[in-house]
């Protein structure tokens, strides 16, 4: 009889473990593809690179609160430089998983193509893109 209850508890535990495994999957941040524009900003264009960073940060920071699909743009008043970014998540993700996924995509972009004119990183569950021109991915 004792072992019956012990087995029951083990069964329940495994059941819960399975529920968590399938119902609460973490985002899949495996890279699907990336495209980095072949041209890069010059050594003396750090101010423009910073604008590119800002616009991406904006898209990444807002996408989870804006229907998992968000476009951002910035115009620099001094130089008239303008740039655009987009972030999107798989609609099945939770808020925090959407955020975590685009942060991961952002980090990959920053590590691999920060100074490129434009770049996009498509992970399995989310994507980010930034360009010096306006674009639409819907
Ligand atoms: C993530 O997606 C890739 C590609 O579809 C797949 O091979 C991999 O097993 C997935 N990883 C997880 C943890 O689900």
Where b means 16+ CB within 10 Å and e means fewer, 90-115 reads beebeeebbbbbbbbbbebbeeebeb
Is the per-residue pLDDT at 13 higher than 90? no
- 20-24, 55-59, 113-117: which range is least confident on average? 20-24
Instruction: Name the token pair of 37.
Output: 């524009």
Q: How far is CA 73 from CA 28, 59, 69, in A?
A: 27, 9, 14
Q: Which two tokens stand for residue 31?
A: 């890279």
Pocket of ligand 1 contains residue 31 by CB under 6 Å: no
Residue nearest to atom 5 of ligand 1 (CA): 124
Ligand 1 atom having least distance to the Cα of 124: 2
Contact 93, 125 (CB under 8 A): yes
Q: How remote is the C-alpha of 49 from its chain's centroid? A: 19
22 lines ligand 1 (CB under 6 A): no
- The pTM assigned to this predicted structure is 0.83
Per-residue pLDDT reduced to its tens digit, 38-50: 999 999 999 999 9
Q: Where are the alpha helices (DSSP H) in the chain?
A: 2-23, 46-62, 95-113
Residue 60 has pLDDT above 80, yes or no: yes
Q: Is the CB of 28 under 6 A from ligand 1?
A: yes
pLDDT at 14: 43
CA–centroid distance, residue 53 to ligand 1 (Å): 29
């Amino acid at each position: 009889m004792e072992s019956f209850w012990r087995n029951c508890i083990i069964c329940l535990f495994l059941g819960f473990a399975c529920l968590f495994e399938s119902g609460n999957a973490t985002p899949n941040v495996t890279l699907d593809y990336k495209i980095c524009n072949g041209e890069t900003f010059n050594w003396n264009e750090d101010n423009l690179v910073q604008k590119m960073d800002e616009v991406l940060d904006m898209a990444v920071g807002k996408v989870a609160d804006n229907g998992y699909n968000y476009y951002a743009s910035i115009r620099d008043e001094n130089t008239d430089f303008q740039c655009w970014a987009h972030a999107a998540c798989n609609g099945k993700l939770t808020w925090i998983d959407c955020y975590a996924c685009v942060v991961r995509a952002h980090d990959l972009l920053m590590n691999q193509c920060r100074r490129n004119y434009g770049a996009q990183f498509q992970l399995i569950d989310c994507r980010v893109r930034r360009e010096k021109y306006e674009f639409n991915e819907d």
